[in-house]
Chain A
């Protein structure tokens, strides 16, 4: 950015009342030989009768870090030695050395926002004129080629269209974190290629995330990279597992996540895109393609990514994150490896004990009704009506969980025969090992059924749910 050797430089725009007010002064300063350069952001013919430099590309405004117009800058020896923002008669007089400047004008008037700082413009200008700090290879798609089709051709998608990750969009995504773009997050399975914050941001853009979702994506990534989660196994298993992300705390409301009607399904951008970002990383960095290192026999729709917020509106329900050690008021994610969902439908039941028996029967069907002895994870997602039955009976999270663990136990002899009723007495075999049954609450308050999320192999030899606090 070259400044006048000695003299004044002015940046203004016609669409600014204060700029129009001081336009005659600008002409006066130019006539006196004091104003050496006038840059107009929106109309090179404004102010009329002056030698105006067209800055509609905003390069000068960006280079001078102009936030407000008018901005008057004094230059000496080719360097800035002072500036006045907006109109302040005394300051303008001091900067220009013209003591009677603008005596007929009000003493002061604020300026207007510079076009260089209008929403979304900062990153555009950084890409055009500044240092982005981005290291990813740039791929140019010439007009009239369609970038969305090009991304399909390059194998960068999960089968659905993705948002083109332009440098501008990626810079905006990076506004969602204080981490540097080259910060290393860890390996992405199955290939183990290292993921930086920049690569995560690129894939989050492609998934359709907004920048404010990015801290949730990064926390979910950190959780998924925990060896306890066994992400490598989940992404390559023949069982076709995906990643389910449960979001707790204030962030869920802040980014508008759905925890009511259809929370596990479509229709909400944050729910739809947060886990998708992880899956795109598995494809693009991890190299997982069905039939390649993703060995899914069937796969399932949740492999596009599933995220939902828990309903924390009832203080009687302990949120999942708090049950896993996160302090109240904090935001957190919990990742859970899963192989699909099913429904428990008991529309005629109104009693907590009966409901528990019904749910236990469905939970016992995970993997297979004859499977027992642990090694399988399951998440029960209670709807509003199911929770109401428990709440009115005075049950809380712990009691529901303990009752379900108890009623999913069966007599060892019954397991052999496939008998599914709860066992009593001695020699009982549990369905779930410690920590393998996860309870969450989301969905609307209408509907006497609940969703069971089918987990994958669990425990230390499989995938364990992992929770991480979301750091802004």
Chain B
């Protein structure tokens, strides 16, 4: 009989972890909502409108932006959001 074959794994060999999204807060009262504009064209229109609506409800908003949609957000931006926001809205638009 012919022998089998041994292959070397081309992947990272890590099983993709399943992470459950955190439960949405029951209310945004006294929470800070981070708005991350990923710098796609017209994403700001969506976030501006959302900020207006949140403002009418006295919800505190903090704005952030990536330098460019082509690259990841900087460590500083991610750390700033993690430290100062309770929830985040990430805007993707064209």
Q: Is A202 an interface residue (CB 8 A)?
A: yes
Report yes or no: B6 in contact with A138, Cβ–Cβ below 8 A: yes
A143's partner among B1, B39, B68, B72 (CB-CB below 8 A) is B1
**Most A C-beta atoms less than 10 A away, residue of B2, B3, B11, B70:** B70
Report yes or no: A165 in contact with B68, Cβ–Cβ below 8 A: no
- B residues less than 8 Å from A427 (CB atoms): none
- Stretch of A59-67, A436-444, A457-465 with 4 or more beta carbons under 8 angstroms from chain B: A457-465
Report yes or no: B10 in contact with A138, Cβ–Cβ below 8 A: no
Report yes or no: A144 in contact with B2, Cβ–Cβ below 8 A: yes
- A residues less than 8 Å from B13 (CB atoms): 136-137
User: Shortest distance in angstroms between A375's beta carbon and chain B's nearest beta carbon?
Assistant: 10
A165's partner among B1, B10, B12, B39 (CB-CB below 8 A) is B10
User: Shortest distance in angstroms between B43's beta carbon and chain A's nearest beta carbon?
Assistant: 14
Q: Is B82 an interface residue (CB 8 A)?
A: no
Report yes or no: B3 in contact with A136, Cβ–Cβ below 8 A: no
Report yes or no: A202 in contact with B8, Cβ–Cβ below 8 A: yes
B68's partner among A156, A285, A461 (CB-CB below 8 A) is A461
B11's partner among A138, A284, A460 (CB-CB below 8 A) is A284
Q: Is B71 an interface residue (CB 8 A)?
A: yes
With A143-B1, A193-B12, A193-B14 known as contacts, the answer to whether A167 contacts B72 (CB < 8 A) is no
B8's partner among A136, A191, A457 (CB-CB below 8 A) is A136
Q: Is B69 an interface residue (CB 8 A)?
A: yes
With A136-B13, A285-B11, A285-B12 known as contacts, the answer to whether A461 contacts B70 (CB < 8 A) is yes
- Report the bound CA distance from A116 to B39 in whole Å: 60
- Report the bound CA distance from A294 to B70 in whole Å: 13
- B residues less than 8 Å from A164 (CB atoms): 5, 7
Q: Is B83 an interface residue (CB 8 A)?
A: no
- A residues less than 8 Å from B75 (CB atoms): none
- A residues less than 8 Å from B68 (CB atoms): 230, 233, 460-462
Report yes or no: B4 in contact with A156, Cβ–Cβ below 8 A: no
- Report the bound CA distance from A457 to B67 in whole Å: 14
User: Shortest distance in angstroms between B18's beta carbon and chain A's nearest beta carbon?
Assistant: 14
- Report the bound CA distance from A191 to B5 in whole Å: 29
Interface of B is mostly: loop
Report yes or no: B6 in contact with A137, Cβ–Cβ below 8 A: no
- Report the bound CA distance from A280 to B1 in whole Å: 33
- B residues less than 8 Å from A463 (CB atoms): 70
- Report the bound CA distance from A150 to B61 in whole Å: 51
Q: Is B29 an interface residue (CB 8 A)?
A: no
A147's partner among B7, B14, B67 (CB-CB below 8 A) is B7
- A residues less than 8 Å from B2 (CB atoms): 143-144
Report yes or no: B70 in contact with A141, Cβ–Cβ below 8 A: no
| A166 and chain B: residue at smallest CB distance | B6
Q: Is B9 an interface residue (CB 8 A)?
A: yes
| B39 and chain A: residue at smallest CB distance | A461
Report yes or no: A199 in contact with B10, Cβ–Cβ below 8 A: yes
User: Shortest distance in angstroms between A170's beta carbon and chain B's nearest beta carbon?
Assistant: 5
| B40 and chain A: residue at smallest CB distance | A238
B9's partner among A137, A142, A166, A193 (CB-CB below 8 A) is A137
- Report the bound CA distance from A417 to B14 in whole Å: 53
For the complex with contacts A136-B13, A233-B69, 7 further pairs of A-B residues with Cβ separation under 8 Å are A144-B2, A147-B7, A156-B11, A166-B7, A233-B71, A280-B10, A463-B70
Q: Which residues of A contact B (CB under 8 A)?
A: 134, 136-145, 147, 150-151, 156, 164-167, 170, 191, 193-194, 198-199, 202-203, 206, 227, 230, 232-234, 237, 280, 284-285, 287, 456-457, 460-463
Q: Which residues of B contact A (CB under 8 A)?
A: 1-14, 16, 39, 67-72
A-B contact list, 24 entries, CB within 8 Å: A136-B9, A138-B7, A140-B4, A140-B5, A140-B7, A141-B7, A143-B3, A144-B2, A147-B7, A150-B7, A156-B10, A165-B8, A170-B8, A191-B12, A193-B12, A232-B70, A232-B71, A232-B72, A237-B70, A285-B12, A457-B70, A461-B67, A461-B68, A461-B70
